[in-house]
Amino acid sequence: MRLFSITPPRRATTPEDLTRIADVTLERVRDLELDALVLYDIEDESDRNPALRPFPFVASLDPARFHADYLRRWDRPVIIYRSVGKYDPTELKGWLAGQDPALVATVLVGASSRDSAVRTRLTEAQSLWRDTGSVVPLGAVAIPERHAHHNDEHDRMLAKQALGTSFFVTQVVYDLTWAKDLVSDYAYACRGQGREPAHVVFTLSVCGSTRTLEFLQWLGVHVPRWLQNQLEHAEDPLSDSYEQCTGMARELAQFCRRLDVPFGFNIESVSNRRVEIEATVRLAQHVRDLLAG
């Protein structure tokens, strides 16, 4: 499963610029043989972390709108994230009912902290999805960091699967061991319960500067101490992190094959810098070839 993620442009963008950005994006991903293009639904998340956000938050366009209005030329599937707390239940249900399940899947994401003011809770959103016939393929996030701290993320995954989730997308992975720990516990739990594991899609993202590194950590990504040292002291962190990502992709692919867990990769850039976006596309090409080989 090959995914590539984008964040819709900021809300204030003019229609002309939205068209141009959509064209550039589709041109970029044209040769990546993607199974789907992922559209994130960005939240501020400042309530999740008291530390200063290293990149300022900019409200971005609703991914469903960006898809409907500007990505019509993309004739392959999309996976549209829904930060469900941002939407009214009626709005969310109407959207779910209106999608072509051959072309649109969704990942429902709960609020980033318990204190967030939300219009729809995650459990409610899952009910709305069932009310619309459970036809739009449903994904969920899986977080190796949460597993490292609480040892129950595999149970959460199985519970989500019982409610209809058919694939999981991880948070950005920089700790290979933690990613392996989660998929291993998940695989053995599935075996123990006689259930087929769902696709686990690992998100990979290059890191071209200490600013990007700080942002990844702010987002909750665990970067092992040695790698943090290496990226902080690197002459070319982009090249170092690229090498790290391709190494993790190779190892995770081997590992999942050995465990018989269907898997994939989701490539994203958490920064807007051109060199990082270009490296992201190269990483997606690398993963395309890895999964073809």
Size of the site for a copy of itself (CB under 8 A): 16
Compute the least distance from the CB of residue 125 to a copy of itself, in Å: 31
With respect to a copy of itself, which residue has the nearer C-beta, 19 or 177? 177
Using DSSP, state whether 136 is helix, strand or coil: coil
Token pair for 31: 């040769």
- Residue carrying the six token digits 């009910």: 127
> Closest CB to a copy of itself among 15 and 192?
192
Nearer to a copy of itself, 91 or 185 (CB): 185
Residue with tokens 């200063």: 52
Closer of 57 and 188 to a copy of itself (Cβ): 188
Q: Specify the DSSP class assigned to residue 9.
A: P
CA-based nearest residue to 143, from 215, 259, 204, 221? 221
Q: 36, 202 in Cβ contact below 8 A?
A: no
Quick check: 239 binds a copy of itself (CB under 8 A)? no
Question: Quick check: 34 and 267 in contact, CB under 8 A?
Answer: no
The count of other CB atoms within 10 Å of the CB of residue 187 is 19
Rounded to a whole number of angstroms, the minimum distance from the CB of residue 237 to a copy of itself is 14
Give whichever of 91 and 181 is closer to a copy of itself, judged by the CB atom. Answer: 181
Residue 256 Cβ vs a copy of itself, minimum distance, rounded to whole Å: 11
Going by C-alpha positions, the residue among 191, 113, 106, 175 that lies closest to residue 141 is 106
Give the E-state strand segments of the chain in sequence order. 2-6, 36-39, 78-83, 104-109, 138-142, 167-172, 199-204, 263-267
Beta bridge partner(s), residue 108? 82
Q: Nearer Cβ to a copy of itself, position 17 or 243?
A: 243
225 binds a copy of itself (CB under 8 A): yes
Beta bridge partners, 10, equal 60
Q: Residue 169 or 227: which CB sits closer to a copy of itself?
A: 227
* Interface stretch with a copy of itself, choices 41-49, 120-128, 225-233, 268-276 (CB under 8 A): 225-233
Residue 152 interacting with a copy of itself (CB under 8 A) = no
Query: Shortest approach of a copy of itself to residue 272 CB, angstroms?
Result: 30
Token digits for 207?
């890191």
- Is residue 16 within 8 A of residue 172, CB to CB? The reply is no
Using CB under 8 A as the binding rule, whether residue 224 contacts a copy of itself is answered as yes
Ranges within 161-220 binding a copy of itself (CB under 8 A): 175-177, 180-181, 183-185, 188
CB atoms within 10 A of CB 174: 26
Q: Residue 78: helix, strand or coil by DSSP?
A: strand
Q: Is 233 in the site for a copy of itself (CB under 8 A)?
A: yes
Under the criterion CB under 8 A, does residue 149 sit at the interface with a copy of itself? Answer: no
- When asked if residue 272 is in the footprint of a copy of itself (CB under 8 A), the reply is no
**Residue numbers 48-107 binding a copy of itself by CB under 8 A:** none
Per rule CB under 8 A, is residue 13 in the interface with a copy of itself?
Answer: no
Q: How far is the CB of 185 from a copy of itself (least distance, A)?
A: 6
HSE of 252 in the Cβ direction (CA atoms, 13 Å)?
Answer: 32
In the bound state with a copy of itself, the residue whose beta carbon lies nearer, of 230 and 246, is: 230
Residues engaged in binding a copy of itself (CB under 8 A): 175-177, 180-181, 183-185, 188, 224-226, 229-230, 233, 255
